[in-house]
Amino acid sequence: MATKSLMRPETAIPALFDDFFKPWNEMFDNSRFWGRAATVPPVNIIETPNEYKVSLAAPGIKKEDFKIDVNGNMLTISAEKEEKVEEKEDKYTRREFNYTTFTRSFAMPDDVQFDKVDARYVEGVLELMLPKKEEAKKATITKNIPIK
């Protein structure tokens, strides 16, 4: 039995190569290398009787970096942020650039009053309040009807 467990080179060799190539694998692994630039902020949409609330988590982005557009019933939220950092020493200069961009679009129901949309950005969360038209508010009134 002991010799059987020693004769499993198929598990030992890949682990050896994984360790050897680990720095290169991490450098070119798309999920890690592009992860920050390719992420899209999560969104929650909640419907209440009077409005729709859209919450988008985007910490680190300033409210000036956001753009909110309405085209018909399509709501589009986008942001662009560019950061440049430069360090100068006697023998070297180091420059780093970070560019973050995303776009999210949502088809909204016809009962939204787009001319009265309100937005605010608080502690890394962009919140949009999309009020419903009066007809839609009346249609959502619930009532229990007794049977006679």
Between residues 20 and 102, the one the model is more confident about: 102
State what percent of residues in the chain have pLDDT above 70. 70
Confidence of residue 45 (pLDDT cuts 50, 70, 90): very high
Distance of CA 15 to the CA centre of its chain: 35
Q: Please give the average per-residue pLDDT across 99-112, as a whole number.
A: 88
Burial track 105-124 (b if 16+ CB lie within 10 A, e otherwise): eeebeebbeeeebeeebeee
- Is residue 89's pLDDT more than 60? yes
Q: What is the pLDDT of residue 2?
A: 46
Q: Please give the average per-residue pLDDT across 121-135, as a whole number.
A: 92
- The tokens for 94 are 């180091």
